[in-house]
């Protein structure tokens, strides 16, 4: 289950959003969902209620027993890597080893400007930040001398609960090359289907899987695909809610990315066209293309079956049932409906990737297993976010 707060203070106060989201996380834990995930953004109604995923997830960990807590994603460019590695190691211990760490590059010019970080440095800081965190988690007397930071020798305390370190995910928006890099490194993957075409996302996943296999890493890796989900017994009501809140998302995203109409960055090729693409958003087309899940449980089951055919049954669908201003009761009802009437239809399904390869038999109904000894968490995977 994912959280991306797309709302302003006049729609819902921060304290109400936090209280409602934590209650949803507790319910997800009770119902057997696989993970809770939250973004990192600043300043605007486009995610601004979540400037620190670690703080939110620490509160989730304190209120739950089994569900994994996932950053989706933290931004290394905005935090000194020693600080970031320490915060995440603390969270791994506080959650007793339930942490998955997603790292992302960020893409909003105002955020880079506020942190006085040039966008041209984002790729290097991203790669360097991940590697420094990994070394601080797994080694002692670590020294580093790079373009960004120089330190050492230091030994990080606390050591992570998971050995050798928490599972590492890389967030990718549209780039098959970045997905291949994640695969070669043996990392896992987070993607969002709303901002790329079906063929584009299939190319990204194929690049990831091929690079991971060629590099000799065990297992297919874990792939999280993020969807908003509007679920109700009344399909028309669910679709109306989907239209309302998806258009609200587009409206707030348009405001947040407005500066891309004048900003240019060689590290973000094509992003100057982003605002025009967002303005051309068509909800009916997006729904028809299964980029948003909406309807009755039966309708959403059909959508997920199609998604599994497209991307393979070894993906985890990360559901967002409350994009911000959804009523608490509606979000809780959707979470229950999914657990009771959707997820059971994907139980005990053999994992099949689009290339026809098969992985181990798994339960796609929310059953959990302990992370693998290498910290990869390969044994715990589910199609529908459970």
Say how far apart CA 261 and CA 345 lie, in whole Å. Answer: 45
CA distance 125 to 128: 5
**Is residue 378 a part of any domain in this protein?**
no
Residue 123: inside a domain, yes or no?
Answer: yes
Token pair recorded at residue 26? 């507790």
- Chain centroid offset of residue 275 CA: 22
Residue 375 lies in a domain: no
Q: Beta strand pairing status for 168-172 and 150-154?
A: unpaired
Which two structure tokens, joined as six digits, stand for 66? 């089994």
Least confidently predicted of 83-87, 326-330, 343-347? 343-347
CA-closest candidate to residue 71, choices 127, 3, 14:
3
For the chain, give the mean pLDDT: 90
Residue 227 lies in a domain: yes
Inter-CA distances, 215 with 181, 212, 219, Å: 10, 5, 11
Give me the pLDDT at residue 363, please. Answer: 29
User: What is the CATH classification number for the domain harbouring 197?
Assistant: 3.20.20.30
Verdict on whether the full-model pTM lies above 0.85: yes
Six-digit token string for 147: 């373009």
Structure confidence by residue, pLDDT tens digits, 118-149: 999 999 999 999 999 999 999 999 999 988 89
φ, ψ of residue 64 to 5 degrees: the values are -130, 170
For residue 151, being part of any structural domain is answered with yes
* Structural domain boundaries, residue 214: 2-361
Asked if residues 241 and 330 have their Cβ atoms less than 8 Å apart, the reply is yes
Our CA dihedral for 183, 184, 186, 189, rounded to 10 degrees, sits at -20
Is residue 335 within 8 Å of residue 27, measured between CB atoms? Answer: yes
On whether residue 367 sits in a domain, the answer given is no
Q: How many domains does the chain have?
A: 1
The string of pLDDT tens digits covering residues 70-80 is: 999 999 999 99
Assigned domain for 386 exists: no
Q: Is residue 205 part of a domain?
A: yes
> What pLDDT, in 10s, does the model give residues 3-18?
999 999 999 999 999 9
């Amino acid at each position: 289950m994912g959280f991306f707060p797309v709302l302003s203070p006049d729609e819902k106060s921060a304290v109400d959003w936090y209280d409602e989201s934590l209650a949803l996380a507790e319910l997800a834990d009770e119902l057997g969902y696989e993970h809770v995930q939250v973004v990192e953004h600043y300043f605007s109604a486009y995610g601004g209620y979540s400037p620190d995923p670690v703080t939110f997830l620490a509160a989730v960990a304190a209120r739950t027993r089994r569900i994994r807590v996932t950053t989706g994603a933290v931004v290394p460019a905005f935090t000194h890597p020693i600080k970031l590695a320490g915060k995440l190691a603390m969270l791994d211990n506080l959650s007793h080893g339930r942490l998955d760490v997603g790292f992302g590059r960020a893409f909003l010019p105002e955020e880079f400007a506020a942190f006085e970080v040039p966008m041209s440095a984002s790729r290097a800081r991203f790669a360097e930040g991940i590697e420094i965190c990994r070394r601080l988690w797994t080694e002692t007397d670590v020294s580093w001398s790079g373009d960004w930071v120089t330190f050492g020798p230091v030994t990080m305390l606390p050591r992570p609960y998971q050995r050798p370190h928490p599972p590492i995910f890389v967030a990718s928006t549209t780039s098959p090359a970045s997905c291949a890099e994640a695969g070669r490194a043996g990392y896992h993957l987070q993607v969002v289907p709303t901002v790329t075409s079906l063929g584009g996302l299939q190319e990204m996943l194929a690049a990831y899987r091929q690079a991971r296999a060629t590099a000799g890493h065990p297992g297919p890796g874990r792939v999280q695909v993020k969807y908003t989900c509007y679920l109700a017994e009344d399909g028309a009501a669910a679709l109306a809610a989907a239209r309302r809140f998806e258009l609200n998302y587009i409206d707030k995203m348009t405001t947040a990315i407005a500066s891309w109409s004048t900003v240019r960055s060689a590290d973000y090729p094509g992003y100057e066209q982003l605002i025009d693409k967002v303005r051309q958003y068509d909800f009916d087309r997006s729904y028809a293309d299964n980029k948003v899940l909406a309807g009755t449980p039966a309708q959403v089951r059909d959508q997920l079956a199609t998604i599994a055919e497209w991307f393979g049954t070894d993906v985890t669908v990360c559901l967002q049932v409350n994009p911000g201003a959804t009523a608490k009761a509606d979000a809780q009802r959707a979470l229950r409906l999914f657990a009771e009437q959707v997820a059971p239809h994907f139980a005990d399904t053999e994992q099949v990737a689009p290339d026809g390869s098969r992985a181990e038999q798994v339960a796609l109904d929310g059953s959990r297993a302990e992370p693998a000894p290498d910290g990869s968490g390969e044994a715990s995977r589910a199609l529908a976010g459970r």
